[in-house]
Structure 1
Amino acid sequence: MRTEMDVHRPRLQQMKEWIFGYSARPLVLTALCGAFAPVAWTAPRPQIPIWNAPDIDKVCGETLSKARGEIAALERLPLSQATLDRVFGTWNRMQILIEDTQGPVEILTNASPDAATRTAGESCQLKISELGTELFQNEKIYAHFQRITPTDRIDRKLKKDVVEAFEDTGVALPPEKRARMKLILQRLEEVRQAFARNIRDNKTRLAFSPGEMKGLPASYLEKARRDDKGNYLLGFEYPEYEPFMGNAENEEARRRYYIAFNNRGTPQNLDLLGEAARLNREIASLYGLPSYAHFVTRRRMVESPETVHRFLDEVEGKVREVERREIGELRAFKAERLGKSVQEVTLNRWDLPYYQEQLKKARYNIDQEALRAYFPTDASVAWVFAISGSLYGVRFVPAKAPLWHPSVRYYEVIDGKTGMFLSGVYLDLFPRDGKYSHAAAFGVRSVSLLARRTPISVLVANLDRNGLNHRELETLLHEFGHILHGVLSRTRYANQGGTNVERDFVEAPSQMYEEWTRKEPLRLLHQYCKACPEVDEALVKRLHAARSFGRGIQYGRQHLYASYDMALFGEREVDPMQGWIRMEGETPTGYVPDTQFPGTFGHLVGGYGAGYYGYMWSEVLALDMLSVYGKNLMNPAVGRRFRDLILSNGGQRPAAEMVREFLGRDPSPKAFFEEITGRRGD
């Protein structure tokens, strides 16, 4: 489960947070949907335009003007003429019009090497956010949607979602409250941008002496920057931070890096997080709700904070004993390595990655850095394409396209049976200054069969150019699961496409796809690098065993993050830092003084506020859906069924309904809790 370093970024994410509330999407009526899916249509093959700052300013202004023209035309439409075709057709056109600017702007804001372009992108996003608030507080358009009486299940559900989105943006509030809601939403977008910018643009580098680098492999040392005194200069990119924390023998050096890493957005981001919590609390009060968590969850699968708390209580009951046992093992391992008694040593947060890695080397003969020879980056990408193509009946064909950086690659997704162009995919895999610092899937362009529109998605990551370790391979598959959800979507309306599903389901397809790194499919990777060491059955088993150790620690941490999130956005006002100190202080390793982790926790202002529980909730569904594959994860019949039922439908059907149909029964948390406790089989 990749969570700390990956963030899912669906297209128009900020806009949809208040437009659609990530509620369940319309039901699909298969016979009718077929009428909108002509197999032989030849769609244009769109690509992302590469704009500079002046381009963005110009295009953004033109888009806002056109969108306001569409809004004005819809306002002028007499209620008596507000037919479904006119209203829904205009609605779909507006979504597409805005997305054709917002999509490219968002990826350029997060990945362009040019600072001026990123700044112009942020300005444009703010303007589009303001437009969205104006649109969804428009009483006349709200009245048009209320008047329509669809007979088709897809359209009925679309109406329900859009009406709820209007209401969640304040259209039905009294004028004073509606005006306040508009200001709050505008400020929250500014907070989100500033929070992300403070982390993305942090160019701090810590100096470590050659002695402090002991334990790091030669390949790592060769790539690291150095100053004129011979010190190594390390920043906050994951390919630098994670190997260091797992291999550097010097505990003081690990402590220093850990503290710096957990302060990289502060102190500004702590203030921003506190402001976001206050503003979201005010939103809840405008609606007469006890908390922002109530406001959010009423549109999610869980429906209420009480369901979340019951789920988290159950997770805690399963994980706590496992976490304490694993920490006890690591403490004993540390004592043995230092030649001391267990009572003489303390296991600190900065010790956990290091002693987990060293224990796995000793116990399972698994060295994450040595694994890079097995998983070269290019071969790993080819392997992901191959297993995805085999499972879902598609091909990934390299193609030429304008690019925002020379290291980016573009591919066309072609249906293996019909030869039809389905979508475009960009891969931006390597770290650089000014780039989004985690791993994420950006849905830049949504599908719409009604508009004969094909999707585009972008996978952004910060991987090692020289090869991946097993965790990074897992991350690559996780994010590619999001990509597949976007590019294989075949939905009627643009705002139903791909990953535009309930936020507490959106991670399930990608979390399920991580499992392909632990079984037989992994052995196929050797086909794409004949010169690489072969991933034999024995290595696969050792990888599985090594991956299983530390699950208690991992899920204990996830439980902490989700619980903190629910507390921050709960009924009682919580100071972000004091709340964190108290809650982390109650964990087995305690709070680390001088760290300000909440200032790095971008999920809480980037769409996952009162929703971080969704990572584990989604994993319940992911591991349950995995059971349908049985012992053969490469079963093309099951893969095709998953594509047709889950991926293709995007948000056209409620997630619970799709999952139940795919399983042939109600979902069960059994596999998830067996994963936590280490009792899940191969």
Structure 2
Amino acid sequence: MLKPLVLPDVAGDWSTWLSTRCGDGLAEAAVLRGRLAGAEGPALEIWNELQIQLANVFAVTSLVAQVHPDASVRALAEELEVEANDFRTDLMQDAGVHTSLKAVPGAELDVDARRVWELSLRDFRRAGVDRDQATRARLAELQARELDLGQAFGRNIRDDDRTATVPVAALAGLPEDWIAVHPADDQGNVTLTTDYPDVVPFLTYAADAEARRTVSHAFLNRGWPANDEVLGELLRVRHEHARLLGFDDWPSFDAEVKMIGSGPAIGDFIDQVAADARTSAERDIEVLVQRARRDEPTLAGIDASSSRYWSEVVGRERFGVDAQQVRQYFDFTKVRQGLLDATGRLFGLTWTPVADAPSWHGDVTSYDVGLGDEVLGRIHLDLHPREGKYSHAAQFDLVPGVAGVQLAEGVLVCNFPRGLMEHDDVVTLFHEFGHLVHHMLAGRHEWVRFSGVATEWDFVEAPSQMLEEWAWDVDVLQGFAHNDAGAAIPAALVHRMRAAEEFGKGIRARTQTFYAAVSYRLHLERPDDITARVAQLHERYNPILPIPDTHFHAGFGHLDGYSSGYYTYKWSLVIAKDLFSAFDPEDLFAPDVAARYRDTILAPGGSRDAADLVEAFLGRPYDSAAFKAWLDTAPEEVR
């Protein structure tokens, strides 16, 4: 019977464990590589075993580098990741291995094996195996440098312990429990970190505009100035990489393996979404400006320090939603359990707490995951901020599940408060947990290539974006959203919350197109002055005004992992809206459609093209009709 991976406990020797896990994995991968190059045995099966070893190594190095509390362990994980990357780069340029795989009789393979074979050969081509020796050597140098720069970019954000100091009077309007854990110093000042549990509530509730700008300035300068130079070189390295492989630019290289198909199509898609959202964005930004000018007559417009605050004011006045009233219903512990209950009911999963499960920090909670009588694996939830930890929200693999070989294990890494949560945090938790569910349900394939969230990268957000809908459902929320007196959140309040959320959707869509344009255009153009080009893109796409002397791009961590492909959030949202159209909003737990969605969209992992998965579920090709209708519908004013 398969067992979860044995981890050290909090005080254990993580350095030795990590070195052993990675060293053994790379050693076994080297043996398997030798067998492949020597044509010793069934090539595709050996290739799968080799990929399992590499996937195991990359999973632990990428996770530990972001979450372990000991900086030396994080540094070791980064070093081991470099070693594994060097091995993979050399492997993908190994003509002997490529020859063995190419010799596999593809016509005799079943559907799954043939897909693995074809995609693997494509990977070899994209690695430059068919190029001359000098080109392959340069590609290896570039890929090594790319990893170094990506690690540095993330490290500079993660380790930037920036703070902002505001007078205690600026805390007026903040929730009492938040104020209680932010005491003033002897000079009557309060120091805030740039972690989300500090920044988001302050920008949402603080009426002091100057203090909000102070906090926003610190937040939007994370990673600056170090990351400006790092990013500039990273853009140049990626461009040379793509050109050596015969592509016009990095976006064209990157898009070849995505649903969108081509680099220029990214720019077209960004502009289409921006155009679709223009009317909605202009309508709602005017509402914010007019309301703000009642208090600040000389206000030029809504900027990054004031958008959350004035959105909260409009939500309270126009839709009857007071976020401080709302947050009383969202105690972190209850939300976490409510999420497990809702997803368990929806997908037929069980989440069994493992009280003594070892991990890297005392904040981590672990659960064994089951589906009927089947054990799928284990999840680990690391949900609160700490020094040196990944500062956003993401799902990380710990072990990719492979049928009969190893159980799937995944980790959710977030930065939520320990007490009361904003409803936005609840939505984020549902979203990220969607990735974790995907990882677990798709962890039962023979071929590791299909394991977990292994679809095209511009589809991976769609299932998570769709799961956000359950964080807005009255029945779901009333199952866990209770105040201190035990009263469930009123249905009328949830309806008003949804109306308030619908307000500003065009603004958010345009803001996302700005992020996507930064991701795409910087890689396409590689400007000498990144700050100036980002400012131009901000003016073109983002209705929210910038804060002077800030450098958003330096803290935009997705420029590493997503590179030129941040458009995928909106691409996925178009599909998510279409997927959700198959569910009955009056019965989100209807078992037939939920099971069909689980088995048709999530469980296949990467075994089919995403477009084919969606068509199989919907009974037709996906389209943007649901997304456009959602954008065009004005929120109903509720008082």
Fold match (TM-score > 0.5): yes
Structure 1 residue aligned with 2:592: 637
SS in 1 for 2:397: strand
* Residues 200-254 of structure 1: per-residue CA shift (max 9 Å, x gap): 1122222211122222121111112544434211111101001101111111111
Structure 1 residue aligned with 2:34: 72
Q: Distance in 2 between matches of 1:627 and 1:276?
A: 40
Which structure has more relative contact order (CA 8 Å, sep 6+)? It is 1
Q: Distance in 2 between matches of 1:59 and 1:222?
A: 43
1:390 matched to 2:345? The reply is yes
Q: Distance in 2 between matches of 1:574 and 1:621?
A: 36
Structure 2 residue aligned with 1:458: 411
1:244 matched to 2:202? The reply is yes
Pairs within 5 Å for 1:271-670: 271-338=229-296, 340=297, 345-399=300-354, 400-415=356-371, 417-418=372-373, 420-449=374-403, 451-489=404-442, 490-526=444-480, 531-570=485-524, 573=527, 575-586=529-540, 587-606=542-561, 608-631=562-585, 632-670=587-625
Q: How far 1:589 sits from its partner (Å)?
A: 4.1
1:677 matched to 2:632? The reply is yes
CA contact 1:263–1:599 (8 Å) conserved in 2? yes
CA contact 1:482–1:499 (8 Å) conserved in 2? yes
Q: Distance in 1 between matches of 2:6 and 2:636?
A: 43
Q: How far 1:56 sits from its partner (Å)?
A: 2.7
Q: Distance in 1 between matches of 2:50 and 2:183?
A: 48
SS in 2 for 1:349: coil
Which residue identity does 2:422 align to in structure 1?
N
Q: Distance in 2 between matches of 1:662 and 1:172?
A: 39
SS in 1 for 2:582: helix
Q: How far 1:345 sits from its partner (Å)?
A: 4.6
Q: Distance in 1 between matches of 2:32 and 2:345?
A: 43
Q: Distance in 2 between matches of 1:600 and 1:344?
A: 27
Q: Distance in 1 between matches of 2:483 and 2:617?
A: 35
Pairs within 5 Å for 1:260-271: 260-271=218-229
Q: Distance in 2 between matches of 1:347 and 1:659?
A: 39
Structure 2 residue aligned with 1:36: none
TM-score by length of 2: 0.94
Identity percentage of aligned residues = 32
Which residue identity does 1:120 align to in structure 2?
L
* Residues 266-298 of structure 1: per-residue CA shift (max 9 Å, x gap): 111111111111111101211222111111111
Q: Distance in 1 between matches of 2:299 and 2:394?
A: 42
CA contact 2:232–2:526 (8 Å) conserved in 1? no
Q: How far 1:574 sits from its partner (Å)?
A: 6.1
Structure 1 residue aligned with 2:179: 221
SS in 1 for 2:306: helix
Pairs within 5 Å for 1:187-202: 187-202=145-160
* Residues 558-614 of structure 1: per-residue CA shift (max 9 Å, x gap): 0111122221122675642221021113344444320111111111112x1121111
Pairs within 5 Å for 1:150-161: 150=106, 151-161=109-119
The runs of 4+ residues in structure 1 deviating greater than 6 Å are 527-530
Q: Distance in 1 between matches of 2:387 and 2:363?
A: 13
CA contact 1:243–1:369 (8 Å) conserved in 2? no
Instruction: Give the total of aligned pairs.
Output: 628
Pairs within 5 Å for 1:163-202: 163-202=121-160
Structure 1 residue aligned with 2:190: 232
CA contact 1:380–1:525 (8 Å) conserved in 2? no
Q: Distance in 1 between matches of 2:214 and 2:481?
A: 42
Evaluate the alpha carbon distance shift between residue 47 and residue 411 of structure 1 in structure 2; reply closer, same or farther with a 3 A threshold.
Answer: farther
Q: How far 1:520 sits from its partner (Å)?
A: 3.1
CA contact 2:370–2:377 (8 Å) conserved in 1? yes
Unaligned runs of at least 5 residues, structure 1: 1-41
Structure 2 residue aligned with 1:63: 25
Q: Distance in 2 between matches of 1:498 and 1:65?
A: 24
* Residues 136-195 of structure 1: per-residue CA shift (max 9 Å, x gap): 111111111111123211111111111111111121111111111101110111111111
Q: Distance in 2 between matches of 1:478 and 1:120?
A: 31
Structure 2 residue aligned with 1:53: 15
Q: How far 1:312 sits from its partner (Å)?
A: 2.0
SS in 1 for 2:370: strand
SS in 2 for 1:570: helix
Structure 2 residue aligned with 1:44: 3
RMSD across aligned positions (CA): 2.0
SS in 2 for 1:610: coil
CA contact 1:584–1:591 (8 Å) conserved in 2? yes
CA contact 1:52–1:117 (8 Å) conserved in 2? yes
CA contact 1:430–1:463 (8 Å) conserved in 2? yes
Q: How far 1:467 sits from its partner (Å)?
A: 2.1
Unaligned runs of at least 5 residues, structure 2: none
Q: How far 1:58 sits from its partner (Å)?
A: 4.3
Structure 2 residue aligned with 1:146: 102
Q: Distance in 2 between matches of 1:524 and 1:137?
A: 55
Q: Distance in 2 between matches of 1:499 and 1:458?
A: 13
SS in 2 for 1:629: coil
Evaluate the alpha carbon distance shift between residue 522 and residue 287 of structure 1 in structure 2; reply closer, same or farther with a 3 A threshold.
Answer: same
Structure 2 residue aligned with 1:8: none
Q: How far 1:512 sits from its partner (Å)?
A: 0.3
CA contact 1:429–1:459 (8 Å) conserved in 2? yes
Evaluate the alpha carbon distance shift between residue 481 and residue 311 of structure 1 in structure 2; reply closer, same or farther with a 3 A threshold.
Answer: same
Q: Distance in 1 between matches of 2:610 and 2:547?
A: 39
Which residue identity does 1:468 align to in structure 2?
M
Q: Distance in 2 between matches of 1:102 and 1:591?
A: 37
CA contact 2:61–2:81 (8 Å) conserved in 1? yes
Evaluate the alpha carbon distance shift between residue 225 and residue 107 of structure 1 in structure 2; reply closer, same or farther with a 3 A threshold.
Answer: farther
CA contact 2:62–2:81 (8 Å) conserved in 1? yes
Evaluate the alpha carbon distance shift between residue 358 and residue 528 of structure 1 in structure 2; reply closer, same or farther with a 3 A threshold.
Answer: closer
